[in-house]
A = this chain, B = another copy of it.
Amino acid sequence: MLSSLPERRNYRYDAIAFGETPLAVVLPESTADVVTAVRAARAAGVPIVGRGAASGLSGGVVPLQEGLVISFTRMTRLDIFPERREARAQAGVVTLKVTEAARPHGLVYPPDPASFRTSTIGGNLGENAGGPTCFKYGVTGDYVQALEFVDEAGEVHELTRGAYDLAGLLIGSEGTLGLITEATLRLTPPPRHVRTLMAHFAEVGQAAEAVSRAIAAGAVPSKLEFMDTACVGAVEDYLHLGLPREAGAVLLVDTDGDDLETVEAERALVETACLEAGGEVRRAATDAEGDALWRARRSVSPALGRIRPQRMNEDIVVPRSVLPEVVREIRALGDASPFPVVQFGHIGDGNLHPNILFDPRTESEEAVHHLAHQIALVAIRHGGVLSGEHGIGTMKRDFMRDAVDPESLDVLRSVKRALDPQDRLNPGKILPGELEAPHAHP
């Protein structure tokens, strides 16, 4: 247990916001330790925030009240069962470690949030994390066969998937319904071959058109990433890779599989679709060339960090057919605001990340929040949802009132009450309520 103030202060933030300093931080090594901590918090009548690597982008681990933080980073037991193609991981196992341990057995764990070198399995389950390969391979929840969790009373439950898929309900519930201590994860053999292609277009509508055509032609790319002009410009300023600054939209596409000819045929389908939609195409001849093309996408985070010290990373999902309109409307909102707004995302799923860049020392956080709200409303107006993979947390909590009708919100509240009657687990997250939202990093 950490109780000194300097230590405790390290546990009040995630990647976007900071809140109250916890009264105490425990670092359990076993489920039994978690039970003890939960019972102690209950006896003391204080709230509990479960915490992984704190790489979350929606304020999920930020305490809104004084209480206990349970940090899972020491729960790192990991067993691989190659014959069953399963891993059993404690909550604190770092995402990347699962694939590292499985690879000698010819297996990998596909879910690939860009934060996979630091994020934990518990945090991935908490947010139902996705990544570039979602379009073909699915999100975290698709790989969870079973999980163990500790409820607010300190009881331990093991759940498989089935009638009353409570495991499914816990996945993505951001630590508000129970604390996940272990999970059984499905592993798969990795594809033998990957082929990469980059395409650029004068206009975002053409990029969306190319994606729709490629998919309609039967291609199932393993990655399908989009960057808008502002995003391309930021990366180019940073790395001088020779990216087409004048392009309205850039696509990065991987196809993969075990048969090289099929993988190349599938890339050819994508290429044809891009050309027909009016794009220009660069094909990577080798894996190394493919890796070089992906460098552009991987560098988005540091490139944006050079423009403004802080950013609000939105995470909307809209039907692919309305994507061009949505991108244009958000660009117009950005242009009318004092903030640079860049857009990128997993275009295959219609999952867009509009990022608002700002400097919290000189610019109004309220204005940022207002713009984020306007962007969320664009998504909702076009039949979209508030989050693809980063969760609701505190950041989009208040937008839930726009996205979910009051009756359905009441149903969500009654489920929360059923599992956490005293609102002790991560209070103030997901559901709009009284607790004040936290602040961006100073």
Contact = CB atoms under 8 A, between A and B. Distances in A.
Interface of A: 83-86, 106, 128, 141-142, 151, 155-160, 162-166, 168-169, 171-174, 189, 192, 212, 215-216, 218, 257-259, 261-262, 265, 319-321, 385-387, 391-392, 405, 407-408, 411-412, 414-419, 430
Nearest to A417: B418
A318 to B, nearest CB: 10
Nearest to A407: B155
Contacts of A218: 189, 192, 258
A415 B295 CA distance: 46
Contact of A164 (B172, B192, B258): B172
A192 B430 CA distance: 43
Contacts of A216: 106, 189
Contact of A162 (B172, B261, B414): B172
A405 to B, nearest CB: 7
Given A84-B321, A262-B257, A414-B419, A174 B163 contact: yes
A233 to B, nearest CB: 30
11 contacts: A83-B212, A157-B407, A159-B408, A160-B385, A162-B385, A163-B174, A163-B387, A163-B430, A164-B415, A411-B419, A415-B419
Contacts of A85: 215
A75 to B, nearest CB: 21
Given A162-B385, A168-B165, A387-B163, A151 B411 contact: yes
Copies of this chain in the oligomer: 2
A415 B155 contact: no
B159 A165 contact: no
A160 B392 CA distance: 14
Interface of A is mostly: mixed
A165 B172 contact: yes
Contacts of A430: 163-164
A4 B106 CA distance: 63
A392 B165 CA distance: 13
A411 B84 contact: no
B173 A164 contact: yes
Given A320-B84, A385-B162, A407 B156 contact: yes
A174 B164 CA distance: 9
Contacts of A320: 83-84
Nearest to A172: B163
A320 B85 CA distance: 10
Contact of A169 (B168, B215, B257): B168
Nearest to A212: B83
Contacts of A415: 164, 166, 169, 415, 418-419
Contacts of A215: 85
